[in-house]
Amino acid sequence: MTQMQRASFPAANAVMVRNPFDGSVVGEVAESDATEIAAAVRRAKVAQWQFRRSTPAQRRAMLNALAAEIAADAENMARIISSEMGKTIREARNETRRAQNTLRLSGDAATFLDGEALHCAIVEGGADRLATITYEPVGVVGAITPFNYPLNLLCHKLGPAIAAGNAVVAKPSPKAPLAAARLRELALKAGWPEDIFQIVHGGAEAALSLVRAPIDLLSFTGGPAAGLALKNASGLVRCLMELGGNDPLFVLPDADLDRAVATAIGHRFEIAGQSCAAVKKLYLHQAIEKEFTERLLAAVGAVEFGDPSRDDTDMGPVIDEAAAGQVEDRINATIAAGARLLHGGTREKTLFAPTVISGVEPGAPLIAEETFGPVIAIRSFSDSAEAIAEVNSGAYGLQAGVFTNDHALIKMFSRDLVVGGVMINEGPDFRAEHVPFGGVKRSGLGREGVRIALREMSEPKVVID
């Protein structure tokens, strides 16, 4: 526990943070109670009222300074991420790099939060009136983040919020809170005002306490059940929610099969399949299904899984044994329903072998629900319209990937898939930090991505004279 954490919450209970790979204790944070969380929000309101008149140039300088501190601390931060949530050290280094990009892009976007001027002559008596529309900060943003990207997902909330002139009170997942705590230390080191960015810790009760405090906007990433509970508890507070996905990857007959295989593996086995937009189900056209599956199995067999701290490890563990048990149960239920296990299917505590299952029916657990684990579930299809309809019938709509160079098929999939994003010759887990990211249906409300999040975290004001 850092001195900062001890000073902030001296009477709170300790939350022990364990390495998912070996169970060792890697740190602890102090759990925040409702009184402490409300006090943090009050301090944030005072700080934000002073900060709201800062200039875009000042905000950009703040965000660039924090990005520079992360760069200087990059290896330490990567080790924190890897040890607290089991991400391989290579994946953790990449997340640290992306977090710097997110903050710098947020700083750049702060200088382009443009308003507009509209003449009012369209209405009677408005001939000499001009409406000026500007964007002002919403106030205090409550940011609740999951365990799978403990640094970059927080930066996706923090960067646009600060760029817009807001304060942030963040609650990271109790399973992986250490990177967030370190980020605040780096923000103070970068010269940020002490109360403009604060961290509170805890589980579901802390999350409810935060949304019941007088925040002005809630930005939440997590599951739909938790999201709905928080939305209901927050009253009329504006909510931005990314609630996960059950994302497909379609491979058509003309696809580059080797590239599609590499993408399927990279977008499913990254962080052991614990990504909201990971390839949850693989739709293979019957014309290439046999050849693709053979290439896929050969590549899966080469995936090195084990100790995430090693540079040569491709895939680490899932977050805890409860999560591993859920994945195992879904695999067993899917096989019991008639699917064929082609590779893997075994685990040792939190460490799963990369798994491939074919002949999976639409109602099987691995297809019907979002599964956070390293399992590729294969569906076969011959009619693209029917495959699209099957995906659209599901409850989620985050992103989809399509491998084809057929222009007509690209237009068809892009037009007809009911999702927030369609990636062509790429997997559904592709994301650029400045591009809108989010979904429809149970996948969420609003969008992340630096440029659009900056507007989401701002209030338009109209002045007519």
Catalytic residue, chosen from 31, 69, 276, 448, is 276
448 with 436: CB under 8 angstroms?
yes
Catalytic residue, chosen from 36, 91, 242, 456, is 242
**Single-letter amino acid, residue 5:** Q
Identify which of 370, 340, 416, 355 has the alpha carbon closest to the alpha carbon of residue 276: 370
Strand order in the sheet with 116-119: 116-119, 130-137, 458-464
Contacts of 20 (CB under 8 A, 6+ apart): 85, 86, 316, 317, 318, 319, 320, 350
- Quote the CA–CA distance of 372 and 377 in Å, as a whole number: 12
Question: Is residue 268 within a helix (H) or strand (E), and if so which, with residue range?
Answer: helix 257-269
Q: Is 242 a catalytic residue?
A: yes
Question: Is residue 80 within a helix (H) or strand (E), and if so which, with residue range?
Answer: helix 74-85
- Quote the CA–CA distance of 207 and 144 in Å, as a whole number: 7
- Quote the CA–CA distance of 136 and 461 in Å, as a whole number: 7
Identify which of 237, 240, 238, 263 has the alpha carbon closest to the alpha carbon of residue 250: 263
Instruction: Determine the Cα angle at 89 with ends 85 and 91, to 5°.
Output: 80
Instruction: Determine the Cα angle at 386 with ends 384 and 389, to 5°.
Output: 110
456 with 166: CB under 8 angstroms?
no
Contacts of 179 (CB under 8 A, 6+ apart): 77, 80, 81, 84, 150, 151, 154, 172
Q: Give Rg (Cα) of the chain.
A: 23
Q: What are phi and psi of 406, to 5 degrees?
A: -80, 115
Question: Is residue 461 within a helix (H) or strand (E), and if so which, with residue range?
Answer: strand 458-464
DSSP state at residue 295: H
Residues marked as catalytic: 242, 276
